[in-house]
Structure 1
Amino acid sequence: MTTVGQQPDRTSVATAEHTTVPGQRPPGQLRRVTGTITRRVRPFDAAVAALFLLAAHLLYVNLWSDLAHGYLTDSGGDQNQAEWFMAIAAENIAHLHNPFFTTVQGFPDGVNLMANTVMLGLTVPLTPITLAFGPTVTYALVLTWGLAGTGIAWYWVLGRWAVRSRPAAAVGAALAAFAPPMISHGNAHPNFTALFMIPLIVDRALCLCRGDRVVRDAVLLGLFTAYQIFIGEEVLLIAAVGMLLFAAAYALADPGRAREAARPLRKGLPIALAMVLPLVAGPLYVQFLGPGSYTDVPHGYGVVVNSPLSFLQFAGRSLAGNEAIADRFAVNRLEQNAFYGWPLAGLALVIAVRLWHRALVKALVCTAIGGAVLSMGPRIQVPGTHIVLPGPWRLILDLPLFGSVIESRFGMVCAPVLGVLVALAVDRITASSEPRLKAAGLVAVAAALLPIVPTPYPVNVRPAVPDFIADGTWRRYVDEGQTVVPVPLAHSYTTESQHWQSATRMAFTMPGGYFMAPNGPAHVGNYNPEPRPTYRLLGTVYTSGKVPEIGPRQRAEAEADLSYWKAGVVVLAPGFNAPPLYQTLRQLLGRDGTLIGGAWVWDVNDGTSATRRPGA
């Protein structure tokens, strides 16, 4: 009797009893098992789901314990950004505003929300929670339940398609959902942790290959894909590449079954596409052609890539990890997109060699290698040498959409692949009748997984919103149609003013911001809006701590920028490099600020700088 994924003897029905792969219906006993799984949830299934939820909550226990003041330490400005997206989505729904565009931030040009990670598929349904409890609660929910939901979804799919043992499915799902790259993005990228739709898309694609109910499966595949677009498009693109790699490798490993799967795919994929297009055509038009749309987002040629050695390292948040070492192999702690550790890499190699006769394993290994090599970028330096090899990424770099993807993120393709391989190994080990062999195998698996067990996220205290903003005093200085100009203006390196907006339910409008926006005549994507002179000047002061020379040109530019922004008041809160910022503003605006409600305030309500006011 063969196990799942093993190539059966086509002359023997008994040999194929437990085989469920693309192109073949799940026969006999396995059909009964999977039917039971889908009909009702067994106690073990409920226990696995509860365990995943508990594990996710333990990871975020420090955030949950102080939602009013907690800020994930390694999130940079991304927590404020993510909460802002959740808040603006809720306010747009509550006030029946355009859910795809807003001028509340980035005034007057605005923000193309479809071209940013607003996650409408989650933020819109969670609007009541956001409005009732605030965006930080929604943010914590999406991060926590996103990780847990991803694990539950992979558990269901592995139990349905890959293994008979529920414990094996649970172990594989835990690895897929809580792998080091997932934990890295869990610092502040909810669109890369809430991946529960990806396993369901994989499931429907496999059902479509089977050919039982082509129309139903194609319709569901289309609906699931459309929904994933409203959760995270980059994730969908990476998953699609992984699925294509798997399909190509499987076709080479077992051409006969690939031909069988091709027939229902030819019929079903057009149906799925017909389901997707009407649901996403309008929003995607806004994203790519509407106001605030942009072209590619250059990250530098071969800059944000994985080193081959990074796959053998431990992530900073792993049990065996060292942050100082991990920092040398990643651009920041949000992009540790490899870091599976050498024990797991070694275990995967042993599993691949031992089970290489299975077409499924061959396809999985090729998928992992393909994703890993793509993540190394267009130039791959051989460790320990000066040899640089051309990477396959250069072949797809100029294709539509790929120019905006961070290539190192393709290393995440390895997470579910490793999860399936480990699940297959545990399934085989637990089926062994040799106690010693079983014990040795389980110890080996535990030894490979224990070092990458994630540790709880650290949390800092978030700076408080100044009373001038929090209690609404700013309203005395801002007329209808005017803006609050926070200093420093929101940027990728400072996002406190975004939190001011989120905390006050978007009560005021402001220029600047941390969001994807077009820059320059070519409309190239950037992480900030087109920088006007004063925006750039104040940003330089914030990062350098030095007061620049201010002359007539800088004052004239400030006057023009404040007029362009329709400024009513300029606000500087205490914080990093506030003294040099104050001195710069004092020279730009021609007078001292007034300390009101814990912030320095300059009234520019007439739309011009104080340098133009009589007696200034």
Structure 2
Amino acid sequence: MTETLPEPQQQLVEATPGRVRSVISRGRMVDLAIMVLFVLAAFWVMSNLWRNLESGYLVNAGRDQSMWEWFFADTAHALSQFRTPLYSDLLNYPLGVNLMANTAMFGISMPLAPLTLLFGPTPTYAIGLTLGLAGTAIAWYWTFSRHVLTGVSVRVKCAAAIGGGFCGFAPAMISHANGHPNFVAFFVIPFIFMQVIRVSRGTNVVRDGVVLGLLMAWQIFLGEEPLLIFTMSAMVFGAVYALSDLPRARAAIKRSLPGLAVGAIVSILITAIPLYSQFFGPASYDGVGHGQAGADFGAFTTLPTESVGGDKTGAEYRMNPTEENSYFGWPIVILIFFATVWLWKMKLTRAAAAVIVAMGVLSLGSELVYKGDHTGITLPWKFLAHLPLFESVLESRFAMGAIPAIGLLLTLGTYRALVELRNPRGGNSRGPGLILPGAWLAVLALAVVVLIPTRIDTVERPDTPKFITSGSWENYVSDGSLVSVPVSSGEEARAMRWQIDADFGFPIAGGYFVGPHSITRGGIYGAEFRPTSSLLVKTNETGQIPVVDATTRADALTDLRFWRADVLVLPKASNDNALRQTVNALVGFDATSVDDVWVWDVRDLVSGKTTNK
């Protein structure tokens, strides 16, 4: 990408050295102020969690916060114990969990492992989300202000700040900040793009290739799905940009091949073992089926629910609160069309517009749906959905691939508007030259206001039982597992926190993660349900005590032996009677009250020493 917008009527080379230093220094101060603003904005969005790191839980996170905190805690524990962080049998005992196949974000969890060991995983989780938002905005601001615009004036900085701010705090980013740190940590992506451009110049093959390989490896350890999505965006952008000068593009591709080869070698050397573990190691799986997960076309003009201008009525178009991937809002849609027409002569504009259209179409899924109505119109995703790497992607997330392109158009449009307001065509400060830039800034101001994100809400998480925090569990766990009642799953993940608070002193059955189905090897969320875990889930949902016969008890014994269970634990609650009576019937003896839980010591039962207690 060599097309940049020069700073009009500003020739620093003709200024005095003192003037040059003054302007550059002022530009750096503006850079710093903008970056600090982004950091403060990220802390504002996540402030409810930061205020309550002890027991705060993101209200729309579902079980995701429990899962991510467990990933961060297990990585830190693994490093402290000098065991591999790629796999752990502490969860889903005894089968274990493939952590590389669960996007454990080693690119964050490993550097922050000392912090996690000292203060627990919640601060690490909060840092991951906050750093993701602020870091992404800063990275794109840096890219737009250094590689798209030239000069150090306030116009350049403001325009780049608008684009970078949108990239870091776009509606989809705020939505994913409810629980998905891997889908807000995009701060490496723009530097990968810029490094590819450096490689294409062929000036320093080895150095540029090594840097590219390091960046690629880091992004793989931050999130592979985002890398796939943004790589597709970059390919569309590059293809359209190259069409305007094919001979030059062919020459750039030829020059880039050696550097790309060096980058690939470096990246493979770093990631080969983790990737092998991900696809072929213990507890690996063959993709995750999600069914139809395309965006509703009506979502593109809908304001996001977690914004100043949004409301809950827009929730009808989303899969869940963390997946408002295409909620750009009507002011942004207007600006996209405006910029595309206004700046069409620029190659950057045409390439960005192509990315927005391509990624937007892919995000719609296999069939066009408009405001809930299925139109029957087949879309391109139908032909990609079952290809390797694509089968696990939620197609609505492809809309996020359009975010940098939108940020680029906002940067270009804002810059041109600011330039034309200062230098209206024809020199007439009240002539027609002010209409378009004035309209742009008016709609932009509206977009900025209505898209200001609101703070992400939190609730109090249930306390870890005293049975765990006091160490009483040590009297009931020998070399087997702790089984929570109901068994830990995608619907009930409390035991994952218990395990963290017990410093991973025991493994647990079940849990929330992605693992293989025993027959199909397709990825499923959580452990496969066994007869006993299904029975306890149903009992918990209905509050009704089921009929327990000899077959049910035999299944329970088989399951307990499969889990190598030492103890079953049920926190005391006003509505615990159905679960307690059900487990009593399954194991053949009554629960024991210990601290604030009911426990069933099943070590003798599992070992076969006795069938009654």
Match in the other structure for 2:207: 216
Work out whether 1:550 is the aligned partner of 2:548. yes
Work out whether 1:395 is the aligned partner of 2:383. yes
Structure 1 position 583, deviation (Å): 2.6
Work out whether 1:89 is the aligned partner of 2:75. yes
Match in the other structure for 2:288: 297
1:362 to 350, 360, 374: 350
Distance (Å, rounded) in 1 between the aligned partners of 2:117 and 2:6: 53
Structure 1 position 520, deviation (Å): 2.8
Equivalent runs, 1:47-446 vs 2, <5 Å? 47-164=33-150, 165-300=156-291, 302=292, 304-323=293-312, 325-382=313-370, 387-432=375-420, 433-434=423-424, 437=434, 439-446=438-445
Deviation string, structure 1 residues 409-461 (Cα, Å, up to 9, x no partner): 11111211111100111111111224663554322211122211110011101
Distance (Å, rounded) in 2 between the aligned partners of 1:545 and 1:609: 31
Residue identity opposite 1:443 in structure 2 = A
Distance (Å, rounded) in 2 between the aligned partners of 1:331 and 1:35: 52
Change (3 A) 1:591 1:149: same
Change (3 A) 1:319 1:4: farther
Select between 36-45 and 170-179 the one with higher mean Cα deviation.
36-45
Structure 1 position 244, deviation (Å): 1.2
Distance (Å, rounded) in 1 between the aligned partners of 2:358 and 2:542: 42
Distance (Å, rounded) in 1 between the aligned partners of 2:364 and 2:238: 22
Equivalent runs, 1:523-562 vs 2, <5 Å? 523-562=521-560
Is the 8 Å Cα contact of residues 360 and 399 (structure 2) preserved in structure 1? Answer: yes
Contiguous gaps of at least 5 residues in structure 2: 151-155
Select between 489-498 and 172-181 the one with higher mean Cα deviation.
489-498
Change (3 A) 1:494 1:585: same
Distance (Å, rounded) in 2 between the aligned partners of 1:457 and 1:609: 48
Is the 8 Å Cα contact of residues 154 and 173 (structure 1) preserved in structure 2? Answer: yes
Equivalent runs, 1:431-580 vs 2, <5 Å? 431-432=419-420, 433-434=423-424, 437=434, 439-479=438-478, 481-574=479-572, 578-580=576-578
Root-mean-square deviation (CA), in Å? 2.7
Deviation string, structure 1 residues 288-325 (Cα, Å, up to 9, x no partner): 0011000010011x2x11011111111111111112x2
Is the 8 Å Cα contact of residues 382 and 388 (structure 1) preserved in structure 2? Answer: no
Change (3 A) 1:551 1:351: same
Is the 8 Å Cα contact of residues 344 and 350 (structure 2) preserved in structure 1? Answer: yes
Match in the other structure for 2:31: 45
Distance (Å, rounded) in 2 between the aligned partners of 1:161 and 1:500: 49
Match in the other structure for 1:13: none
Is the 8 Å Cα contact of residues 588 and 611 (structure 2) preserved in structure 1? Answer: no
Match in the other structure for 1:582: 580
Is the 8 Å Cα contact of residues 367 and 374 (structure 2) preserved in structure 1? Answer: no
Residue identity opposite 2:126 in structure 1 = A
Structure 1 position 511, deviation (Å): 1.0
Structure 1 position 466, deviation (Å): 0.4
Select between 383-392 and 545-554 the one with higher mean Cα deviation.
383-392
Select between 408-417 and 458-467 the one with higher mean Cα deviation.
408-417
* 2:60 aligned counterpart, secondary structure: helix
Distance (Å, rounded) in 1 between the aligned partners of 2:501 and 2:472: 15
Structure 1 position 99, deviation (Å): 1.2
Distance (Å, rounded) in 2 between the aligned partners of 1:37 and 1:612: 84
Residue identity opposite 2:309 in structure 1 = A
* 2:226 aligned counterpart, secondary structure: helix
Is the 8 Å Cα contact of residues 84 and 499 (structure 1) preserved in structure 2? Answer: yes
Residue identity opposite 2:512 in structure 1 = Y
Deviation string, structure 1 residues 466-497 (Cα, Å, up to 9, x no partner): 00011110110111x21111112221122111
Distance (Å, rounded) in 2 between the aligned partners of 1:546 and 1:321: 41
Is the 8 Å Cα contact of residues 162 and 410 (structure 2) preserved in structure 1? Answer: yes
Task: Give the number of equivalent residue pairs.
Answer: 591
Deviation string, structure 1 residues 554-575 (Cα, Å, up to 9, x no partner): 1111111111211111001146
Change (3 A) 1:607 1:236: farther
Structure 1 position 579, deviation (Å): 3.4
Structure 1 position 54, deviation (Å): 0.4
Normalising by structure 2, we get a TM-score of 0.91
Residue identity opposite 1:151 in structure 2 = A
* 2:523 aligned counterpart, secondary structure: strand
Distance (Å, rounded) in 1 between the aligned partners of 2:52 and 2:601: 35
Distance (Å, rounded) in 2 between the aligned partners of 1:290 and 1:442: 54
Change (3 A) 1:611 1:534: farther
* 1:74 aligned counterpart, secondary structure: coil
Select between 330-339 and 438-447 the one with higher mean Cα deviation.
438-447
Q: Percent of counterpart pairs with the same letter?
A: 39
Distance (Å, rounded) in 2 between the aligned partners of 1:505 and 1:265: 49
Is the 8 Å Cα contact of residues 294 and 517 (structure 1) preserved in structure 2? Answer: yes
Is the 8 Å Cα contact of residues 559 and 609 (structure 1) preserved in structure 2? Answer: no
Contiguous gaps of at least 5 residues in structure 1: 7-15, 20-27
Change (3 A) 1:494 1:38: farther
Is the 8 Å Cα contact of residues 589 and 610 (structure 1) preserved in structure 2? Answer: no
Is the 8 Å Cα contact of residues 589 and 611 (structure 1) preserved in structure 2? Answer: no
Normalising by structure 1, we get a TM-score of 0.91
Residue identity opposite 1:203 in structure 2 = M
Select between 163-172 and 535-544 the one with higher mean Cα deviation.
535-544
Structure 1 position 221, deviation (Å): 1.1
Deviation string, structure 1 residues 479-522 (Cα, Å, up to 9, x no partner): 1x211111122211221111111222212111101011001322
Residue identity opposite 1:513 in structure 2 = G
* 1:581 aligned counterpart, secondary structure: helix
Structure 1 position 580, deviation (Å): 2.6
Residue identity opposite 1:589 in structure 2 = V
Is the 8 Å Cα contact of residues 589 and 609 (structure 1) preserved in structure 2? Answer: no
Structure 1 position 549, deviation (Å): 2.2
Is the 8 Å Cα contact of residues 298 and 371 (structure 2) preserved in structure 1? Answer: yes
Select between 286-295 and 233-242 the one with higher mean Cα deviation.
233-242
Distance (Å, rounded) in 2 between the aligned partners of 1:426 and 1:195: 23
Residue identity opposite 1:264 in structure 2 = R
Match in the other structure for 2:153: none
Change (3 A) 1:443 1:210: farther
Is the 8 Å Cα contact of residues 542 and 577 (structure 1) preserved in structure 2? Answer: no
Residue identity opposite 1:118 in structure 2 = A
Is the 8 Å Cα contact of residues 5 and 361 (structure 1) preserved in structure 2? Answer: no
Deviation string, structure 1 residues 384-431 (Cα, Å, up to 9, x no partner): 865321111122222211111111111111211111100111111111
Distance (Å, rounded) in 2 between the aligned partners of 1:39 and 1:275: 37
